[in-house]
Amino acid sequence: MLAWTIYLSFAGALAEALLPKGKPALARALALAVAAVGLVLAVVGFATCAGHGRVTIADVPWVPGMGIRYTLAADGISLVLVLLTGLAAVAGVLFSWNIDERTNEFFAFYLALIGGVYGVFLSFDLFLLFVFYEIAIVPKYFLIAIWGSTRREYGAMKLALYSFVGSAMVLIGLLASYAMSGGRSTGLVELAHANLPVNAQMWLFPLVFVGFGILAGMWPFHTWAPTGHVAAPTAASMLLAGVVMKLGAYGCLRVAMTLYPHGMDPWGFSLIGIGSWRDVFAVLAVIGIVYGALVALVQSDFKFVIGYSSVSHMGFVLLGLMTLNQIGMTGAVLQMFSHGVIAGLLFAIVGRIVYERTHTRQLTELEGMHLSKRLPFAAWVFVIAGMASMGLPGFSGFVAELQVLAGSWKADPWWTGSAGVGIVVGVAYTWRALQKAFFSDMHAEAHVHEHGHELAAITWPEVTGVSLLLFASLVVGLYPRVLLDAIEPTVKALLAGGVQ
């Protein structure tokens, strides 16, 4: 049944492409319906499959001569991310309600992207996973280049090329592992059991990890992320930060770490404390956490603040993966979900609720606009979302980052200490953006009149979208067992199956 999330999205994309032009209301309604049904399917799938190990959904030969199968399956990690995709898809449609230009094309690309993302999370054949992964790249380009804002063509092309270079690295890894394992199968399980030679894993692991890591915003390959996020229309930045970056992190875990576990073995020598690829990537993750946070602290564009905060938060995911222990990796998966929801929310506030009304994202200009009075809804939602983003208890971010830090302490206390700096700076940049955008200039009544016109009222899609995402973050924050029960056994199985 989960497979229908994929088919439905692609069918929806096709239907949108064929819709007559000039009927935006119909296009919106159709997109919302498709996304909502997808979410329902994801929730039902989660409820029925979670805790049952790996559930095979479909498994038929695709190219029999080459051992390529159409294998869809779901385990705890996939289920969590499918759930996230469902949430982000619905919220994204709601926050794109104001797209009036080429509406049906917008939703066609949008739903194609969603279908690709569902596909990646559900594929258990590397070839199939790669196909879906690439399907997700092209629509992103068009979404940003056509409907984006600041330097959209540049941002879109940069994003497309970074993604494609990353996927080229993955493809080389796929071809090499397929050939070296005897060319019998591209199934993830089969390849993981193929026992590739250790020296091959030593170069395949970094190749594929970096290939996926580019999309996960791994420092120093993250530079597409802020420009891409800023250039993208709101829904696309929500999806980029919310689920597309997770594709990268998911690939790192599902492909690089599972197929080439020996790639993380020590090299046998160490250089300034770095003695394996695992150390290299953990250090890059920590640098990403701190660097992203510090850069976010000095941005003048509101959206860049959120863009760099995504780099910082995704650093936690990568750090969690590199801990190679139960608690750290569980935290990493939870952080994927948590960041997906919270980043989506923050981008929605900045890109849709604020920017569409004020037509500026410059913090210095927003300072004079008195937004806490004129847009109290946005201000209060941003306060809550900001708290979630800082990792305050009660929200999903807290549980996730706490677990990652606990895991990294077990692996190497230095990582924890350095990443902790990132959390502190995280509080600072959120606070700064919050204060500048919404709560500064409280006494200057004159500015209100200077800007003359009233800001448009908050609409129902905005309220619904915000509530959906906040609700998800709160539920997971207050009762993390919902997801942890699905994630923990899967991580345990992965660790036992040879990731370590």
Partner 1 sequence: MNYAELFRITLPETILEVAALLVLVVDLGLLRKAQLQTRLAVAALLGVLGCVAAQGALLLAPVTGLAYPGSSEVVLAAMGSTAVAQTCILALTVLTLFLLINSDFTRNVGEFVAVVLMSATGALLIAAAQDLLIIFVGLELLSLGLYILTAFAKSSGASAEAGIKYYLFGGMSAAFLLFGFSYLYGVTGSTNLHTIMLSFYSANAALASPLLYMALVMIAAGLGFKVAAVPFHLWAPDAYEGAPAPAAAFIASASKVASFALLISIGTAALHAFDGAQASTVMSFHMSCCPQKFVPGFMPGWSKLLIVLAGVSMVVGNLAALAQTSVRRLLAYSAIAHAGYMLLGLAFYSYTPRSEQAILYYIFTYGLTTVGAFGVISVVEKATGSDRLDSFLGLSKRSPLLAAVLLVLFLSLAGIPPLVGFWAKFNLFAAVLSVSTSKMALGLVALAVAMSAVSLYYYLQVLKRAYVLPAVDDRPIAVHPTTLLVLVLIAAGVVALGCFPAVLQNWISNFYAGM
Asked whether position 4 contacts partner 1 by CB under 8 A, the answer is no
Q: Which of 1, 33, 47, 63 binds partner 1 (CB under 8 A)?
A: 63
Rounded-to-integer distance, Cα 390 and Cα 382, Å: 12
**Interactions with partner 1, residue window 70-129 (CB under 8 A):** 105, 127
**Nearest distance in Å: CB 157, partner 1:** 7
Q: Which is nearer to partner 1, 146 or 287 (CB)?
A: 146
For the chain, give percent helix, strand, coil, nearest 5. 75, 5, 20
- Applying CB under 8 A, which part among 132-140, 242-250, 463-471, 473-481 lies near partner 1? 132-140
**Interactions with partner 1, residue window 232-291 (CB under 8 A):** none
Q: Which is nearer to partner 1, 200 or 294 (CB)?
A: 200
Rounded-to-integer distance, Cα 67 and Cα 78, Å: 23
Asked whether position 179 contacts partner 1 by CB under 8 A, the answer is yes
- Applying CB under 8 A, which part among 72-80, 160-168, 349-357, 390-398 lies near partner 1? 160-168
Q: Classify residue 393 by burial, with Cβ atoms within 10 Å: 0-12, 13-18, 19+.
A: exposed
Q: Which of 11, 26, 55, 172 binds partner 1 (CB under 8 A)?
A: 172
Asked whether position 198 contacts partner 1 by CB under 8 A, the answer is no
Q: How far is CA 176 from CA 183, 264, 309, in A?
A: 9, 18, 35
**Cβ atoms of residues 16 and 27 within 8 Å:** yes
**Nearest distance in Å: CB 335, partner 1:** 29
**Nearest distance in Å: CB 188, partner 1:** 17
Q: Which is nearer to partner 1, 183 or 376 (CB)?
A: 183
Q: Which is nearer to partner 1, 62 or 414 (CB)?
A: 62
Instruction: Match 């949008």 to its residue by tokens.
Output: 110
**Nearest distance in Å: CB 164, partner 1:** 5
Q: Which is nearer to partner 1, 200 or 427 (CB)?
A: 200
**Cβ atoms of residues 19 and 33 within 8 Å:** no
| Helix or strand holding residue 343 (H, E) | helix 326-347
* Torsional sign, CA 27, 7, 159, 401: positive
- Applying CB under 8 A, which part among 22-30, 164-172, 252-260, 420-428 lies near partner 1? 164-172
- Applying CB under 8 A, which part among 130-138, 317-325, 455-463, 488-496 lies near partner 1? 130-138
Rounded-to-integer distance, Cα 280 and Cα 202, Å: 13
Asked whether position 37 contacts partner 1 by CB under 8 A, the answer is no
Asked whether position 20 contacts partner 1 by CB under 8 A, the answer is no
**Cβ atoms of residues 466 and 388 within 8 Å:** no
**Nearest distance in Å: CB 124, partner 1:** 17
Asked whether position 376 contacts partner 1 by CB under 8 A, the answer is no
Q: How far is CA 466 from CA 56, 229, 289, in A?
A: 34, 19, 26
Asked whether position 205 contacts partner 1 by CB under 8 A, the answer is no
Q: Which of 59, 153, 445, 450 binds partner 1 (CB under 8 A)?
A: 153
**Cβ atoms of residues 368 and 358 within 8 Å:** no
Q: Which of 165, 402, 421, 463 binds partner 1 (CB under 8 A)?
A: 165
Q: Which is nearer to partner 1, 66 or 448 (CB)?
A: 66
- Quick one: how far is CA 14 from the chain centroid? 25
Rounded-to-integer distance, Cα 52 and Cα 72, Å: 15
- How many residues bind partner 1 (CB under 8 A)? The answer is 36
**Interactions with partner 1, residue window 431-490 (CB under 8 A):** none
Tokens of 193: 């059991």
Instruction: Match 């197929």 to its residue by tokens.
Output: 259
| Residues near 153 by beta carbon (within 8 Å), at least 6 away in sequence | 145
**Cβ atoms of residues 264 and 257 within 8 Å:** yes
Q: Which is nearer to partner 1, 59 or 153 (CB)?
A: 153
**Cβ atoms of residues 319 and 415 within 8 Å:** yes
Asked whether position 35 contacts partner 1 by CB under 8 A, the answer is no
What does DSSP assign to residue 254? I
Q: Which is nearer to partner 1, 139 or 477 (CB)?
A: 139
- Applying CB under 8 A, which part among 163-171, 249-257, 442-450, 488-496 lies near partner 1? 163-171
Rounded-to-integer distance, Cα 105 and Cα 124, Å: 31
Rounded-to-integer distance, Cα 242 and Cα 495, Å: 26
Binding site for partner 1 (CB under 8 A): 17, 61-66, 105, 127, 130-131, 134-135, 137-138, 141-142, 145-146, 153, 156-157, 160-161, 164-165, 167-168, 171-172, 175-176, 178-180, 183
